[in-house]
Amino acid sequence: MDIIYILKVLWQKKWWLLFIPIVSAIGAYFFSLTLVNQYRASAQIATGFTTNEAIRVSDERASPRDTELSFNNMLTSMNSGICSNLVSYRLILHDLDSTEDSFRERSSDEKLRLTPEEEAISIETFKRKLNRLELLTLDDENASILLKALDVYGYGYQFVKGSLRTYRVPNTDFIQVEFISENPALSAFAVNAFCEEFLKYYRGQREEGSSISVTFFKQLVEQKKREMDEKAETLKTFKATNSFVNLNEEGSSSRILQISEFERQRDNYQSNIYGLNLSLDRFKKELENMEGGGSSPGQSNAKVLQLREQINRLNERYITSGSSNSTLLDSLNLLRNHLKNETSKISSGSSQGSGLTKNELSSKINDLQIEIAIEQSKLNSITTKLRNLQGSISGYVSKEAVVAGLASEVEVASKEYLEAVNRYNEANNKLLASTGTVRQLFKATAPASPVSNKRLLIIGGAGFASFFFCVFVFVLLEFLDNTLKTPEHFKRIVRIDLAAQLIRINTQSLNFNTLFDSRNNTPELEIFKEFVRKLRFQIESTKSRIFLVTSCKKGEGKTFVTFTLAYVMSLVNKKVLIIDTNFKNNALTKWLTVKKGEVKLLERKQDYELKLLTKGDANGAFGKKPDEKSLNDLVSPTNFTNIFLIGNSGGSESPDEILTGRDFNQLIDLFSTEYDYIFLEGASLNDYSDSKELIKYVEKVVPIFGADTSIGQLDSESIAFLKSLKGKLAGAILNKVELKNLK
């Protein structure tokens, strides 16, 4: 749907587009006459969020985001239900306590008046709730009386909430408070009451919040103090219980020297014991040699190898210990001397002993065993003393670790205590400065003039709103309209080439004999004539002579279009034959028949044969071409020059059933030699198969569509069939087009 077409549609509806907005504007005018004057009173509250007036307990500067958040929090508090309810209490108490300067008069209706008892209960209850900052709920005692009082005077929560407006003045530190009502004094009183009650409520909330913080941090300080004292007492008790003195004060240096001396003595005793064991082994072997008759050279060599292996092991230990162990050095020297003796024995080739007798060797062995036992006893004593010293030192080290851990806990507890004290002091300072600089800058006064009632805006808005609403409705209806009322609609919906369109005219009063004689005074008929002439040109352009006129549904104007085509062709001296093959509705036969007794009809009869036209066999096969007289015996004349008719008597049979046994194709060929154009009318495609059966006898099919109809499912199927004809399908004709839709 293009914009030009929409503008055309709106132009056709121009009177509605003028009438409806004018009526709406007039209605809005009279409605605005009943509007009551409204008075706006205003006050401002300074917050101190963006200035340096506020008392600050720290050097931190508020960021723009924090400032915006503070304003949002305050506006949310203002718009809460508690403040609006408090204003309702103030207003109702004002009118109940004072009779001369009440904002609203008491109703004269006894049913809407409060009794003295109800007034007393209302005054007492509202004052109590105002002092306690309580909301009015349905569960309250005497709630029905309180709600009745608010309804009588019209000071309910919804009235206050709807009349009150709070907002921040852009780029300033102020919050604007406005109240609109029908009474200027009421508006001023409500604004001042709201500011007073809000400041009271806001300061109370700030003080309560700060007081909670102070109480919390005070308890936290006491808790941290107890924890610090407990940890300090634990450290003190541990030192006293374990007689702990600093390790440096207990002579740690002398104990370390003692440990070093004991280790040196232990190494000496171990070296002596080792040397004595070697001597003991030597004497035992010598004694064994005496008792066994001497030792062999092989045994001496084995002993030399053993001594060398021991020397190598001790040498590695000595070097690994840093060549500073004197005990290992003495053992090495002893083994080397012994190796030297054994080597000399082997080199001399004789087994020389110690020169002692067997008894002397036994005595020497006993003495060495005694010395080894004595040295071993000394070594055990030194080892015990060394172990005790090392244990005492490790005990002091573990005590020192415990004391260090307890001292660290005491230090952490002290830091936490100091931090809690700082937080407590900060919260206490905030409590002292909790009210800040939030204050009302000035008292609201009763406005002298009412606010604009915006009558012109209401009237203009009503007119413009109704205008655009009408435009929307007309465009929506046009968009939802699926009728083929214009060639553009037809091409978009049907998508078949359009040969011509014919406008809607009154066919009952149309006289074809005088239509083309002279210029008609009716503009519609003149346009109709031009469209018919265009249609004639399109038909002639097809270079075909035999046409079938059909439609998708009934009532599209096939009969009228068929005759119009025949008539416009007769105007150019074309001889036209109309064959009424619409057996379901023979309107052409009824319209064009001159005398009913003389009309030749196509009908199904067992004894009927085209004997007037044939001189062949009984099956209708033509033996030879009939003469002109034989053809004319089947054709009926009409009241119009050059237009002839072959009618039908109607019936329920299809064309194939009626024309069975006859060579209708040959009959059409015979008539084409006598007539310039032959037009056949077929029944609607949606309802009957007649037109489909007649297509084989014609050269072109001309479908008729009514501009006042829409396309349905059956129409879509018929249109698909027409498109399948391809070369046999001539351009369609859009009939009954409204002239206003073409302008």
Express each pLDDT in 289-347 by its tens digit. 776 655 444 555 667 778 777 887 777 777 776 666 777 777 777 887 777 777 766 55
Question: Can you tell me whether residue 662 is helix, strand or coil?
Answer: coil
| Contact present, 498 and 713 (Cβ < 8 Å) | no
Residue 108: per-residue pLDDT: 56
Mean pLDDT for 26-54 is 79
- Segments of 307-386 assigned E as strands: none
Give pLDDT tens digits for 524-556.
888 899 999 999 999 999 999 999 999 999 989
Residue 393: per-residue pLDDT: 62
Burial bucket for residue 283 (CB in 10 Å: 0-12, 13-18, 19+)? buried
Assess whether pLDDT exceeds 60 at residue 431.
Answer: no
Assess whether pLDDT exceeds 60 at residue 98.
Answer: yes
Assess whether pLDDT exceeds 90 at residue 684.
Answer: yes
Residue 702: per-residue pLDDT: 95
Give the residue from 230, 219, 215 showing the smallest Cα distance to 413.
230
Question: Can you tell me whether residue 87 is helix, strand or coil?
Answer: helix
User: How far is the C-alpha of 395 from the C-alpha of 303, rounded, in Å?
Assistant: 49
| 439-440 β-sheet, strand order | 164-168, 174-181, 39-46, 439-440
- Segments of 508-620 assigned E as strands: 546-551, 576-580, 601-602
Alpha-helical (H) ranges within 519-579 are 523-541, 558-570
- CATH superfamily label, 482-742: P-loop containing nucleotide triphosphate hydrolases (3.40.50.300)
pLDDT tier at 214, thresholds 50, 70, 90 = low
pLDDT tier at 468, thresholds 50, 70, 90 = very high
Residue 55: per-residue pLDDT: 47
Mean pLDDT for 553-573 is 93
Assess whether pLDDT exceeds 50 at residue 245.
Answer: no
pLDDT tier at 615, thresholds 50, 70, 90 = very low
Cα 266 to chain centroid, rounded: 86
Residue 733: per-residue pLDDT: 94
* Residue in the block written with tokens 């044939």: 614
Assess whether pLDDT exceeds 90 at residue 577.
Answer: yes
Assess whether pLDDT exceeds 80 at residue 591.
Answer: yes
Number of Cβ within a 10 Å radius of residue 475:
15
Most confidently predicted of 62-76, 199-213, 577-591, 592-606 = 577-591
pLDDT tier at 624, thresholds 50, 70, 90 = very low
Mean pLDDT for 351-368 is 72
599: phi then psi, degrees, rounded to nearest 5: -75, 140
Which range (42-51, 301-310, 696-705) has the least confidence?
301-310
Residue 538: per-residue pLDDT: 93
Q: How many helices (H) and strands (E) does the chain have?
A: 24, 13
Assess whether pLDDT exceeds 90 at residue 402.
Answer: no
* Residue in the block written with tokens 């002397």: 360
176: phi then psi, degrees, rounded to nearest 5: -90, 130
Structural tokens at position 384 = 């015990």
Mean pLDDT for 574-596 is 86
Mean pLDDT for 416-434 is 70
pLDDT tier at 22, thresholds 50, 70, 90 = very high
Mean pLDDT for 215-233 is 79
Q: Return mean pLDDT, the chain.
A: 79
Assess whether pLDDT exceeds 70 at residue 465.
Answer: yes
Cα 1 to chain centroid, rounded: 34
Mean pLDDT for 381-398 is 70
